[in-house]
Amino acid sequence: MATESSEGEEDGKLSVGNQAPMVEDDLRELGKNAAWSVSSWKSGNGVSYLRDDNIDTYWQSDGAQPHSVNIQFQKKVKLQLVVLYVDFKLDESYTPSKISIRAGDGFHNLKDIKTVELDKPRGWVHISLSGNDARETFVNTFMLQISVLSNHLNGRDTHVRQIKVYGPRPNPIPHQPFQFTSRDFITYASIR
């Protein structure tokens, strides 16, 4: 299991206070193509608040840990990055401190792919799904599950303000052996 920390990272993994997360141009948000569900929620703080693009609202769990967010796709997708908005300053003991990410075809065969420990995070936390092997840059899956295993200050319920999932953009030119990323290359990649 890989363990990452979000506080004090120099490589831009945490950007505090931004309304939208900063991600590379070669990634696209895939969450709108998924069915989202949660293990539990308090009335008035359901799953819809994870996707409303408002960092002032949040999903609040209700019950025993672990708390889970399930993201199911109709077809197999390539996922490369999970981005969460959490805020220790606002949520204190409701802030996740340990998160596990699992992937699989459905609930019956989920496998742990990443465990992340967070130390008083504030803002967007970027969690790469790439494996230890340099060739594994994404996870090919029908379902992703994000589980909150523990909270700061031994809190029971959790607050997560936003979740985004990103995958690589498809190659815009079919049967093209190279993946062009800049607009200039894409413009002149084919002859009319």
For 103, half-sphere exposure in the C-beta direction (CA atoms, 13 angstrom radius) is: 20
List, for the chain, all residue ranges whose pLDDT scores fall below the cut of 70.
1-18, 131-135, 171-181, 186, 189-192
Domains of the chain are 14-187 (2.60.120.260)
pLDDT value at position 169? 85
How far is the C-alpha of 147 from the C-alpha of 115, rounded, in Å?
Answer: 9
In this predicted model, what pLDDT tens digit does every residue of 79-102 receive, in sequence order?
Answer: 999 999 999 999 999 999 999 999
CA dist 115 and 99 (Å) reads 6
Please give the backbone phi and psi of residue 185, each rounded to the nearest 5 degrees, phi first: -65, -45
Render pLDDT for 115-135 as a digit per residue (tens, 0 to 9).
Answer: 999 999 999 999 999 866 656
Picking from 96, 140, 87, the residue whose alpha carbon sits closest to that of residue 116 is: 96
